[in-house]
Structure formats: structure tokens, C-alpha cells
Amino acid sequence: MLFKVWVYGCCLGLRSSRQLDRACQRDDAFKFLAHGLRPDFRTLCRFRQRHAADFDSLFEQTVGLCQAAGLVSLAHVAIDGTKLRANRSKAGLASALAELRQALAEAKVADGDLPEEPPGEPASMPAAATEEAGFMHSSEGLIPAYNAQLAVDADHPVIVAQQVRTEPADQGLLGPLAQQVQDNCGQPPQAVSADGGYLTEVDVARLEATGTRLYLPRRASGAAELEWVEAAGAYRCPAGQWLRPCRVREGRQIYRTHQCRSCPQAAACRARCGKKEVHVPLADSARGRLERRMASEAGQAMYAQRKQIVEPVFGRFKHNWGLRRFLLRGTSGAQAEWSLTCIGHNLRKLIQAGAGAGSEGGHQGPQPPATALILWAFRLHRWVTYRLTAGHSASAA
């Protein structure tokens, strides 16, 4: 019962326990969902705190329901992230991070006589470090925030993966999100699109190994400004200097010249320390195949769909539902709020498509009890709201 109240409240922008407390006393829709009971804010708050760890599992159930109802095809999954303000002041976060750094430094001095950990085994971060928000750049400037990530299917935009991270940059997050899509849906997506901030050689190779076509914007290598001479197998700069192949690193051929120190065009050419380098992906590497895919018209057309798939979901969360900052502190609290919001989004998509809860033409198979009950509650609430509106209209007439 309380979970239905929380999900429906998130869909209306009521995300605090006190707001839901008032709604359960005054709003007929919430009274119906609460079975006529009036839970106070303490009960609602304790319920969310006690079951926050289960919200991710319930989100996976909504993905499974949407997939069984034919709302998820995985033909194209768009990935993006947004910065959401944390429930932290700048001074409070700076003080907490300073105390954490001091504690880590003191622990390192105290453990100085202990043997070092074997190479290749990174030290585990303290729980306080992983729970704390970070300073991130946004339209409001440098703020305490979390990096909220979404993976949205293109058909009915259903959220198929989500997570809250403390890293300010998106680099390195593409692989974990794609893996979560595969875990939630039972198969990898056919195509994934994301912005250039996600690009890493490891993730490109990882997605290609699963058979997923990746669409990322092409990153300028500097070779476009140079002339390729096929006979010499090298690039020639506007000043006439040759950039010859020197070595291969991470699937890219490096071309270099050391004749830039006295060149008058060195600054405009962005040469450093008297040398100029360009890194060109190898044709038979995963990065090279990505470059060729994005150079085609079909690749550009596929990537152009990314914004219209994932950006409206962020717009709904921020503008319609008022989710511009998290109310709970810590990464686990922010993750619980984000999961609850994504659950509400997916259930709305199910209801709008006329699927689930044994509806005609919908999924008729067994459903998780909690999710099936929420679907019924949403459907019955829509009917009750219609009847109440019709009754008031008739009385006024």
C-alpha cells in the first residue's frame, strides 16, 4: 500500500513524506490508493528507508513487464546523464571531503609499516567516500551533485537501465550501463548511442564483443588539417613537414614530427614541445570500425535520434515532476529516489500502452505481486478520478 502511494506521489512531483502525508488526508486519489488509511509522514519515511534497497529489484521487474508487453525491442538504446543537486551545502561537502582526506592520510601513516597490497588489486574505498556527493559543473555553476544516468529504449521510451554515480564525468560509465541493460532484459541491445563524453577504448571494444553497434560522435584527431600522401604512407602538414608513423597505442596509429620548434605556424597547429602528433584509429580496430560507421549517412541518422529518445525523459523528471535535486543524503538515498522515479515512469508507459495487469491485448503471464498490484491501483485510480469528475460536472449542471 505504501509503495503505491510513493510511486504515485513521485509521478505527481510529491517526493517528501510530509507532502504525501497531507495528500493522503485531503486527496481522494491518495485515499483510494491507501485503502482509506491515513499514514503519517513518519510511517512513510520509515517505509522508504527500510525498503530503499529493494527499489532496484522492483525497477527490474517493471523492465521485465514492459519487455513482456512488447514495449521494449532493444533495437536502439540511448544513454545519457544529468547532474542533479545533492542535499548538501557547498561548505558542508567541502568540510566532509577535507575530513575524509585527513582521515585517509592519517590511516596511511598509521599503516606505513604494513606490507603493500599486491599489484593489480585496487584498494577498496571507505564507505564514507562512496556515499558522499561530489562537486560537479552544471548550469548553476559548481555544485554538490550526483551524476544520474539513464538508458532508454527507443520504441516507447521505456527506461531499461539507470544508476546514480558520484563521478562528475561520463567517461567509463557506458560499459556498466550497457551491461545493466543486458542483465535486465536478458540480451544485449542491438544498437547503443551516447554522446562523446562516454568514449573509451575499453567500452568500445566491450560493446563490439557483445554484438552491439555503437554510435558515438567522431572525435577530431587533427588529421583532417593534414594532407595524406599514400605513396609515402605519412601525413604532410601545411608547412611541408612530414608526420611519419612511429608506434601503435590502444588501437591507434601515432604519426609524429619533431620539426615544429622553429615553425611559425606551431601555435596555430597546436604543436607542443617542438613536436606534432596525430592519433588515427587502425582500420581493423573497434575504434576504426566505429569511425567508419559514424562517417556514413546511416550512422549520422541513427545518432541524430539520440536526443529525441532520452532527453524528453529528463525533461519530464525535471520540469513535470520537479526532480531537480535529491532530498535524501548519500548515494544510497539518491539511488533510491532515482529508482522510485524510474519505476513510476515505466508504469506510466505500461498503462498508456494498455498493457499489463491482465488487460486485453496485454501481457497475460504471471506478474510480480507488488508490481501487478500497483498496475491495478493506477488503472482503478484513473477510473475513479473519471467518475468523480463526471459526478462533479453533473452536480454543477
Rg (CA), the chain: 26
Average pLDDT, the chain: 80
Residue 81: its pLDDT value, please? 93
Residue 186: its pLDDT value, please? 92
Residue 311: its pLDDT value, please? 94
> For the segment 226-246, what is each residue's pLDDT rounded down to a tens digit?
787 888 888 888 788 888 888
**Poorest-confidence range of 22-26, 181-185, 367-371?**
367-371
Coil/strand/helix, residue 201:
helix
**What interhelical angle do 369-396 and 2-11 show, nearest 10?**
60
**pTM higher than 0.85, yes or no?**
no
DSSP state letter for 360? T
Tell me the pLDDT band of 122, cut-offs 50, 70 and 90.
Answer: very low
Domains of the chain (ranges, CATH numbers): 2-69+331-396 (no CATH), 77-110+124-217+302-313 (3.30.420), 223-293 (no CATH)
Coil/strand/helix, residue 180:
helix
Q: If you average pLDDT over residues 313-317, what whole number do you get?
A: 94
Tell me the pLDDT band of 73, cut-offs 50, 70 and 90.
Answer: very high
Higher-scoring residue by pLDDT: 276, 72: 72
End-to-end CA distance of the chain: 36
Q: If you average pLDDT over residues 377-382, what whole number do you get?
A: 58
SS3 content of the chain, % helix, strand, coil (to 5): 50, 15, 35
> For the segment 125-162, what is each residue's pLDDT rounded down to a tens digit?
444 445 677 778 777 778 888 999 999 999 889 999 99
Compute the Cα dihedral for 361, 3, 368, 373 and give only its sign. negative
Residue 271: its pLDDT value, please? 79
Higher-scoring residue by pLDDT: 223, 309: 309
Compute the Cα dihedral for 279, 282, 283, 287 and give only its sign. negative
Which range, 20-29, 178-187, 356-365, is most confident?
A: 178-187
Residue 244: its pLDDT value, please? 84
Tell me the pLDDT band of 9, cut-offs 50, 70 and 90.
Answer: confident
DSSP characters over 279-323: EEE-TTSHHHHHHHHHHSHHHHHHHHTHHHHHHHHHHIIIIIS--
**Does residue 348 have a pLDDT over 60?**
yes
The Cα 165–Cα 134 span in angstroms is 9
Tell me the pLDDT band of 164, cut-offs 50, 70 and 90.
Answer: very high
Residue 396: its pLDDT value, please? 55
Residue 317: its pLDDT value, please? 94
At which residue does the C-alpha cell 525497477 appear?
A: 59
219 within 8 A of 190, measured Cβ to Cβ: no
> For the segment 167-221, what is each residue's pLDDT rounded down to a tens digit?
888 999 999 999 999 999 999 999 999 998 898 888 988 998 999 999 998 766 6
Q: If you average pLDDT over residues 295-315, what whole number do you get?
A: 92
Higher-scoring residue by pLDDT: 360, 19: 19
Percent of residues, the chain, with pLDDT higher than 90: 30
Residue 278: its pLDDT value, please? 79
